[in-house]
Amino acid sequence: MSHPTAVIHPAAQVDATAEIGPFAVIDARVVVGSRCAVAFPFTDESTEASLTF
């Protein structure tokens, strides 16, 4: 699930069980795995921004 204010590039891979927080920006080559949450304001391919529950 992603927050309505999040911006996710169409090429990004976001698992259906992942949570994308408010104002998050997910770049093209980012992979957000199962049951992960992104709570950082910007994520690109060089940033590990996922936390496993």
Query: pLDDT for 26-45, tens place per residue?
Result: 999 899 999 998 886 655 66
| Full-model pTM | 0.71
Q: Answer whether residue 47 is part of any domain.
A: no
> What are the structure tokens assigned to 18, written together?
């992942």
Q: Answer whether residue 37 is part of any domain.
A: yes
- DSSP class of residue 43? B
Average pLDDT (5-34) is 93
Residue 20 scores a pLDDT above 80: yes
Domain count, the chain: 1
| Calpha distance 31→7 (Å, rounded) | 14
Residue type, 28: A
Supply the pLDDT for residue 35. 92
Average pLDDT (6-19) is 95
- Between residues 51 and 29, which one has the greater pLDDT? 29
Q: Answer whether residue 22 is part of any domain.
A: yes
| Calpha distance 33→30 (Å, rounded) | 10
Q: Answer whether residue 46 is part of any domain.
A: no
| Calpha distance 53→9 (Å, rounded) | 24
Q: Answer whether residue 1 is part of any domain.
A: yes
> Cα 30 to the chain's mean position, in Å?
7
